[in-house]
Amino acid sequence: MGGRAARRPGRGRGERNPVPRRGRYSWSVTFPVVGMVGGGQLARMTHEAGIPLGIRFKLLSDTPQESAAQVVGDVVIGDYRDLDTLRDFARGCDVITFDHEHVPGEHLRALEADGVPVRPGPDALVHAQDKGVMRAKLDALGVPCPRHRIVSDADDVAAFAAEGLAPGAEGDGFPVILKTVRGGYDGKGVWFVRSLEEAAEPFRAGVPVLAEEKVDFVRELAANVVRSPHGQAVAYPVVESQQVGGVCDTVIAPAPGISDELALRAEELALRIAKELGVVGHLAVELFEIREPDGTPGILVNELAMRPHNSGHWSQDGAITSQFANHVRAVLDLPLGDPRPRARWTVMVNVLGGDYPDMYSAYLHCMARDPQLKIHMYGKDVKPGRKVGHVNTYGDDLDDVLDRARHAAGYLRGTITE
């Protein structure tokens, strides 16, 4: 066996870590440490997906009560906005990745300067951090987007609205969508503005504001891809994402009734964006499906997220390799796993906090009713409207699969009681 290393040239880990001496040795010599910044449910589920790989997982969490901090063995409590904290944390890691997109870019550059791989890196991540930068880049790439521009005040919003009117059309062009370029998520930092009067509010925070046309979409889709540093990329099937009140409610994989042509176009678009932006890890491209003037279906890019994403949670039970497992593989520059579905249909429905705190007692009904149900709870405090878990169901009959997921999620939330 002595010649084995020689017969395997170019193996990254072998090059970076000298072969340990014979005798008593330990995997920890060569198995890498993935450092995850942020203790939310995405970190929790990434840890879960990383356990089978035998890697070490280290978490930087704001508090010990965070979703992931409850289940990870190696947890550092600290503030990701503090560079010294990040540097201390990164010292024991082979690579740094993220549960969220809020780590300041200058901190990530400092970590890179220290020699720690940051995946995705700051040059990619900025497109998920700043909607203005994202739109400018997608424009430069010729990627179809909603009509948009940075606006300076309420009057400028009115001007933007009017610019959208067809020649000779009546009205003022409202409503439009306003978004702060940084800090928004799940409908926060987003305003649906119907008039000049309503247009003032978003500017109060002093953050640049992006105006976007209100797209008359057919439905929302998401194209999820994962890309590795060596350039390999995989595309999950395009899914339909149904929002309620600006928050993802239901995801159906694959998107029902989507043509092969449109699905392929969406997947290729997401792969191209991942490549052009230099994404490493998971990229979710949230899309509007629209009807083009000639009646054919089209797509516009709504948002980008560079981390495992709610629209990919179905993959935990519905794909050969989950988005979380592939994110881990990507940040470690390992070959990616197969993203194809294992079932004809998989449905994910989010479980939101309701008025009743005791979700655990609802397990009895849900599990007894549907032995195939997949529950994924995050260990988070229940607050009304907060995402505290999701359920996955799969099968051949979409109506049945949808019914089962919605019943379970509703029962856990407390909106269904029988």
Which parts are annotated binding residues for ATP?
A: 131, 179, 212-215, 220, 302-303
Q: Could you tell me which stretch among 9-17, 113-121, 140-148, 187-195 binds its own copies (CB under 8 A)? A: 9-17
Q: How far is the CB of 269 from its own copies (least distance, A)?
A: 23
Residues that contact its own copies, how many (by CB under 8 A):
77
The residues in 51-80 that bind its own copies, with binding defined as CB under 8 A, are 51-54, 56-57, 69-73, 75
Q: Residue ranges for the binding site?
A: 131, 179, 212-215, 220, 302-303
Q: Could you tell me which stretch among 46-54, 78-86, 153-161, 290-298 binds its own copies (CB under 8 A)? A: 46-54
- End-to-end distance of the chain based on CA atoms, in angstroms? 63
Q: Does 13 bind its own copies (CB under 8 A)?
A: yes
Q: Does 396 bind its own copies (CB under 8 A)?
A: no
The residues in 277-336 that bind its own copies, with binding defined as CB under 8 A, are 316, 320-321, 329, 334-336
The smaller minimum CB distance to its own copies, of residues 170 and 358, is found at: 358
- Choose, by CB under 8 A, the member of 197, 204, 257, 417 that binds its own copies: 417
Q: What is the DSSP string of 33-90?
A: EEEEE--SHHHHHHHHHHGGGT-EEEEEESSTTSTTTTT-SEEEE--TT-HHHHHHHH
Phi, psi (rounded to 5 degrees) for 96 = -115, 135
Q: Does 165 bind its own copies (CB under 8 A)?
A: no
Cα pseudo-dihedral 91, 93, 94, 99, rounded to 10: -130
User: Rounded to an integer, what distance in angstroms lies between the CA atom of residue 369 and that of residue 407?
Assistant: 10
Q: How far is the CB of 262 from its own copies (least distance, A)?
A: 25
Q: How far is the CB of 68 from its own copies (least distance, A)?
A: 9
- Choose, by CB under 8 A, the member of 5, 162, 200, 218 that binds its own copies: 5
The residues in 228-257 that bind its own copies, with binding defined as CB under 8 A, are none
Other CB atoms within a 10 A radius of the CB of residue 343 amount to: 17
Backbone dihedral region of 50: left (phi > 0), alpha (psi from -120 to 50 degrees) or beta? alpha
The residues in 184-223 that bind its own copies, with binding defined as CB under 8 A, are none
The smaller minimum CB distance to its own copies, of residues 29 and 165, is found at: 29
User: Rounded to an integer, what distance in angstroms lies between the CA atom of residue 42 and that of residue 307?
Assistant: 8
Q: How far is the CB of 393 from its own copies (least distance, A)?
A: 11
Q: How far is the CB of 121 from its own copies (least distance, A)?
A: 22
Q: How far is the CB of 267 from its own copies (least distance, A)?
A: 17
- Choose, by CB under 8 A, the member of 121, 146, 202, 354 that binds its own copies: 354
- Choose, by CB under 8 A, the member of 242, 342, 385, 397 that binds its own copies: 342
Q: Does 337 bind its own copies (CB under 8 A)?
A: yes
Q: Does 92 bind its own copies (CB under 8 A)?
A: no
User: Rounded to an integer, what distance in angstroms lies between the CA atom of residue 242 and that of residue 262?
Assistant: 18
Q: Which residues of 101-130 are buried (b: 16+ CB within 10 A; e: fewer)?
A: bebeeebbebbbeeebbbbbbbebbbbbbb
Closest CA to 36 of 24, 48, 28, 53: 48
Q: How far is the CB of 293 from its own copies (least distance, A)?
A: 41
User: Rounded to an integer, what distance in angstroms lies between the CA atom of residue 392 and that of residue 386?
Assistant: 18
Q: How far is the CB of 199 from its own copies (least distance, A)?
A: 35
Each residue 365-384 as x (binds its own copies by CB under 8 A) or -, in order, gives x-xx--xxxxxxxxxxxx--
Which residue reads 């509010």 in tokens? Answer: 201
The smaller minimum CB distance to its own copies, of residues 56 and 282, is found at: 56
User: Rounded to an integer, what distance in angstroms lies between the CA atom of residue 153 and that of residue 203?
Assistant: 7
CA-based R_g, the chain, Å: 23
* DSSP-based three-state secondary structure for 14: helix
Contact assessment for residue 220 and residue 243, using Cβ atoms and an 8 Å cutoff: yes
Q: Does 47 bind its own copies (CB under 8 A)?
A: yes
The smaller minimum CB distance to its own copies, of residues 173 and 318, is found at: 318
Alpha-carbon distances, residue 82 vs 74, 130, 209 (angstroms): 19, 20, 26
Q: How far is the CB of 97 from its own copies (least distance, A)?
A: 17
